[in-house]
Amino acid sequence: MTAQTERSLVLVKPDGFSRGLTGEVLRRIEAKGYTLVALDVLTPTREMLAEHYAEHEGKPFYEPLVDFMSSGHVAAVVIEGNRCIEGFRALAGATDPTAALPGTIRGDLGRDWGRKVQENIVHGSDSPESAAREIAIWFPKL
C-alpha cells in the first residue's frame, strides 16, 4: 500500500460532546499518530447539515439525523495523516454502536439506543472527495 497523506473531517456528535467524550476521541486520534489540523466547537445549522448529509436526503433517517445533529454542540476536527480516512473509520467502528467491535470508539463507548442508531458518537469522512467537500463546509477558511 503506497503512502498517502490525507485529511479527514471528524465530528464528535452531540451525544459524544455532551457526554464529555471529545478528549477521549482526540486522544485516540493522536495516539494513532494523526495530526490535528483544525478544531472548532459549534452547534451546526440545519443548512450546514443539509449540505453535509446531502447524500442521505430522502432516507427515513434523514430528518431525525438532522434534528439530532443540530440539537447541541459538536466538536469539528480536521485530522491529517497517512491514509487517515480509512484509518479513522477503523478507529470509529461500525455505524451501529451495538455491532461495532470492542476496541473501536463506537464499540467501546457507544450505547445501544434502540432505534436511535444516529447517536453513534463520531463522524468520519468516507473518501478523499467527501473529505474535501466536508472540510469546505465546516472550515471554509482552511
Binding residues (CB under 6 A) for ligand IDP: these are: 61, 65, 95, 117-118, 120, 123, 126
- Active-site option among 52, 56, 73, 123: 123
120 is in an annotated binding site: yes
106 is in an annotated binding site: yes
* Torsion angle (degrees, nearest 10) of CA 3, 28, 116, 44: -80
Question: In terms of CB distance, is 8 or 118 closer to ligand IDP?
Answer: 118
95 is in an annotated binding site: yes
Strands 74-82 and 35-42: antiparallel
Min dist CB 122 to ligand IDP, Å, is: 8
Min dist CB 141 to ligand IDP, Å, is: 25
Question: In terms of CB distance, is 61 or 139 closer to ligand IDP?
Answer: 61
CA atoms within 13 A on the CB side of 101: 5
Is 56 among the residues known to form the active site?
Answer: no
Min dist CB 111 to ligand IDP, Å, is: 13
Spatial contact of 138 and 76, defined as CB atoms under 8 Å apart: yes
Min dist CB 104 to ligand IDP, Å, is: 11
Spatial contact of 92 and 21, defined as CB atoms under 8 Å apart: no
CA distance 39 to 46: 20
17 is in an annotated binding site: no
Spatial contact of 75 and 107, defined as CB atoms under 8 Å apart: no
CA angle 35, 7, 37 (to 5 degrees): 40
Tell me the catalytic residues. Answer: 123
Binding residue ranges for ATP: 13, 61, 89, 95, 106, 120
Binding residue ranges: 13, 61, 89, 95, 106, 120
